[in-house]
Structure 1
Amino acid sequence: MPKVSEIQPEPYLIGIGDTISIHVWRNPELSQSIVVRPDGYISMPLMGDVKADGKEPEALASEISVALGEYIRTPEVTVMVTNPSSKEFRNRVRITGQVATPQSVSFQPGMTVLDLVLMAGGVTDFAADDRAVMHRKVDGEYKSYRLDLEAMITDGDMSTNYALQPGDVISVPRKQLFRGEL
């Protein structure tokens, strides 16, 4: 099993369905709160359609500022993401297999493997909890990391209580007769 990698948070990119707030200092008539359309664009007064999908908020603010510079003197533009709905499923963690209630939950910074197991109601009597695995996407491909939930839950051994990252999936397999687990 590979060593658990800690990924650095990537800069937020605006996505389709996100609600963004655009504030143009001293120009309230140009300020607005708007949802990014399915085609990835927003409509701005004086500018028309502007592509927002795939851009960092600061980059979009800079682009709007340059374009508005043709109409107003030294525009100061701020873009804030007020509802990041495009990332809802990308920023989830999941637990499947032999747990009381398999689920997909919103990732929260600081979440650990044990937190997710407890949220799922713990492992079932048929869980091979010493063979649980966490799957994490690293550099575009999934890597698997062994978890010993049995040691964690019964002995308090937190050596595999890894910090979770968005997109992590924990699989808890079923005990097997040929392994002598039943």
Structure 2
Amino acid sequence: MKTTLPLALVLVAVTTTMAQQAPPAAPQGATGAKPELPAGVPTPRDYVIGPDDVLVVVFWREKEMSSEVAVRPDGMISLPLLNDVQASGLTPEELRARLTEIASKLIEEPTVTVVVKQINSRKVFVTGQVGKPGPYPLSGPTTVLQLIAMAGGLQEYADSKNILIMRTEGGKPVSFKFNYKDVSKGKNLKQNIELKPGDTIIVP
């Protein structure tokens, strides 16, 4: 017993010293790793943000400044601490640079990411004899045939040979004819034009 007791005391002392020297555990979320970004919709590099688009703005290590926001009709977005910022008319990269410039007055070396979550500003419209008439967002290159498919296809009594695409060019209305039967059979494919924001497809 005389030799065992001092050894036990030494072991206790060593264990206590090691515990004191061990670094404190890092709090959860403080690892410095960048957060996972929400999935955005595919957009071209030159995509221009417009009213009603939904954006996710992420400030690395500044959670209170991050937010999911919709672009207002006046083209502005409202962000915590930054107030109103012009977003409409800018690409996501241009908006990121603008937010970085503004935030640098409040925090040191801000790291900002802008993700387009929903595209609502670039719309085309389908009316008439289709399964689901209404507005549809243009999230990428879309042809007349593709949009008709998105709208649920033609109804049974649709006049598939006399579909019209209405468009405004130079402030004046213009129209294009579309023969669904021909295009679906691989004929007259030039009719299957790529749609532009604001186009309206009329299926009689």
Q: TM-score, with normalisation over the residues of structure 1?
A: 0.61
Look at both structures and tell me which one has the larger radius of gyration over its CA atoms: 2
Aligned to 2:6: none
- Opposite residue 159 of structure 1, the aligned amino acid is N
Task: Evaluate the alpha carbon distance shift between residue 34 and residue 147 of structure 1 in structure 2; reply closer, same or farther with a 3 A threshold.
Answer: closer
Helix, strand or coil for the counterpart of 1:33?
strand
Aligned to 2:134: 104
Task: Evaluate the alpha carbon distance shift between residue 172 and residue 28 of structure 1 in structure 2; reply closer, same or farther with a 3 A threshold.
Answer: closer
- Opposite residue 103 of structure 1, the aligned amino acid is P
- Of 3, 6, 11, the match for 2:47: 11
Cα offsets for 1:138-161 (capped at 9, x unmatched): 4554332223345446xx253145
The Cα of 1:132 is off from its aligned counterpart by 3.5
Structure with greater proportional helix content: 2
Aligned to 1:135: 166
Aligned to 1:71: 106
Cα offsets for 1:78-125 (capped at 9, x unmatched): 12222334x2xx4234143xx365722525756544455563434627
Q: Structure 2 unaligned runs (5+)?
A: 1-43
Say if 2:58 and 2:65, in contact at 8 Å, map to a contact too. Answer: yes
Say if 2:56 and 2:115, in contact at 8 Å, map to a contact too. Answer: yes
1:162 aligns with 2:192: yes
Task: Evaluate the alpha carbon distance shift between residue 33 and residue 133 of structure 1 in structure 2; reply closer, same or farther with a 3 A threshold.
Answer: closer
- Percent sequence identity over aligned pairs: 23
Aligned equivalents of 1:9 and 1:78: distance in 2? Answer: 14
Q: TM-score, with normalisation over the residues of structure 2?
A: 0.56
| 1:24-173 map, 5 Å | 24-37=59-72, 40-45=76-81, 47-85=82-120, 87=121, 90-96=122-128, 99=129, 103-106=133-136, 107=138, 109=140, 111-116=142-147, 119-122=152-155, 124=157, 127=159, 129-152=160-183, 156-160=185-189, 161-165=191-195, 166-172=197-203
Helix, strand or coil for the counterpart of 2:107?
coil
Aligned residues: 155
Q: Structure 1 unaligned runs (5+)?
A: 1-7, 174-182
Say if 2:96 and 2:112, in contact at 8 Å, map to a contact too. Answer: yes
